Amino acid sequence: MEEVFQNETIKQILLKYKTIWAIEHAQSVLGWDLEVNMPKEGITERSVAQGELSVLSQKLILDKKFVELVEKAEGKDLNDYERGIVRVLKRSIKIAKAFPPEFVREISEVRSKATMAWAEAKEKNDFKLFESHLDKIIELSRKAADYLGYDEHPYDALLDLYEEGLRTVDLEQVFAKLEKDLRPILERILEEGKFPREHPLEKEKYDIEAMKKINLEILRLFGYPLGIRGRLDVSPHPFTTGFGIRDVRITTRYEGFDFKRTLLAVVHEFGHALYELQQDERFMFSPIAGGVSLGIHESQSRFWENIIGRSREFAELVYPILKDNLPFISNYTPEDIYLYFNTVRPDFIRVEADEVTYNLHILLRYKLEKLMINEGLRASEVAELWNDEMERLLGIRPRTYSEGVLQDIHWAHATIGYFPTYTLGTLLAAQLRAYILKDIPDFYGKVQRGEFEPVKEWLREKVHRYGSVYPPKELLERSFGEGLNPKYFIEYLREKYLG
């Protein structure tokens, strides 16, 4: 295969970058181990080790010679891959440079305290315990936006941290369409009753060992390279981590009932893993290895979870596996499994939301975040506003803070600006579906027969192989000739739920 990196300055950059890469590799292993294996009290030393390694890699990113090399490379005649290297590194340098060390230290302390306060507040259902921490986080996030700089809104600077190039104006259009179209769709689904609000399978208890077997069998069906380039483990919150292109691990959890939660989590995480596994291997050890953004990454996981995992054809495909391992399945048909995977109801908790209501949960958070950062909304006003918006969007009012404003950890982690990437991913997944149906008209037939190779090949060709070479918006334009467009998601919902 032809070498992708030819330019001498780029080669020098990559030589230096290898150490940064190695630190990141070690950080991924430490992070994975913390979630999957670590005894409780190990956290004290682990968090110090991780903090020190972060400082070290920041130092290397901001090393004068390294920065000079990146600047020098920028003026050269480069190919797309090399330009990708410069773009990604310039961005890392800009972010590392933006924050003074005392600010980094302060935000990290505030985050630790806020996370503890949030956990207690959630457990005791007492928003007051979290309020002053949230105020501090709003203040620091606003400050972070000023350090980073922005053209129009301070919130844009935070959005860009999670999704390169994403701005409030992009989201305004997207959420305006969702707000207008989703409510009537939801009302009609509930009225027609073809898709149940609840399903008896949600209550069925399962044997954890049997469920593990099912998850592994589904991963084998997808062709996930278990034991070769991947693993499935257990952690409190399911996640995917790529140590490199040839070691991409996923996790799930087992609640012991309502098996779709663990099963669809595995399908979701597989989508993330496949993105990392199917990159161009020539990017190994370089800064363009790895998915380009959270939104594009989530589009891959949602494609597998929603478009494939929640299809009738997938229910038919996995039915025999379920029946072989879970005795209660013989009381149900494949169609029951399909309906169970697709219950629709307005409910309080985002992570348990169906694909129809999910984006309304994000819309609510987006509105509040925008007000916090752009308009100076105070924490004391957030809880009430949360409940009012929930009532307006979903027609239900949380009875407790724990099932309302305190449900997510994101704000305690000071990651304001993160939530919208979930919506980007969900919408893009439906967009990918429209494109793949044009290229592979028998897509659903292939799902039903478990023929995933052509689907994976298509995803590799259109998205995965590029790693971070192109910024998210450019990647979409190049591969599909258009950027994010919410109409595909709305059409998908209408066809599936009302067609």
Contact residues for Mg ion, defined by CB under 5 A: 301
Q: Which of 441, 375, 420 lies closest to 159 in space, CA to CA?
A: 420
For Mg ion, give the closer residue by CB, 250 or 363: 250
Whether residue 455 contacts residue 446, with contact meaning beta carbons closer than 8 Å, is answered with yes
Distance CA 17, CA 302 (A): 32
Whether residue 78 contacts residue 86, with contact meaning beta carbons closer than 8 Å, is answered with yes
For Mg ion, give the closer residue by CB, 82 or 305: 305
For Mg ion, give the closer residue by CB, 189 or 265: 265
For Mg ion, give the closer residue by CB, 138 or 161: 161
268 is in an annotated binding site: yes
CB of 298 to Mg ion, least distance (A): 5
CB of 245 to Mg ion, least distance (A): 19
CB of 102 to Mg ion, least distance (A): 33
Distance CA 164, CA 475 (A): 12
Distance CA 481, CA 113 (A): 46
Whether residue 258 contacts residue 203, with contact meaning beta carbons closer than 8 Å, is answered with yes
Q: Which residues contact 331 (CB under 8 A, 6 or more apart)?
A: none
Q: Which of 213, 197, 203, 222 lies closest to 323 in space, CA to CA?
A: 213
What tokens appear for 327 in the block? Answer: 């005795």
Cα four-point dihedral sign 261, 264, 270, 275? negative
CB of 358 to Mg ion, least distance (A): 12
457 is in an annotated binding site: no
For Mg ion, give the closer residue by CB, 241 or 301: 301
Residue nearest Mg ion (C-beta atom): 301
How buried is residue 491: exposed, middle or buried, by Cβ count under 10 Å (0-12/13-18/19+)? middle
CB of 383 to Mg ion, least distance (A): 27
Distance CA 182, CA 493 (A): 9
For Mg ion, give the closer residue by CB, 21 or 366: 366
Distance CA 113, CA 411 (A): 12
25 is in an annotated binding site: no
Active-site annotation, residues: 269
CB of 366 to Mg ion, least distance (A): 17
For Mg ion, give the closer residue by CB, 286 or 468: 468
Q: List, as residue ranges, the binding site for Zn(2+).
A: 268, 272, 298
Q: List, as residue ranges, the binding site.
A: 268, 272, 298
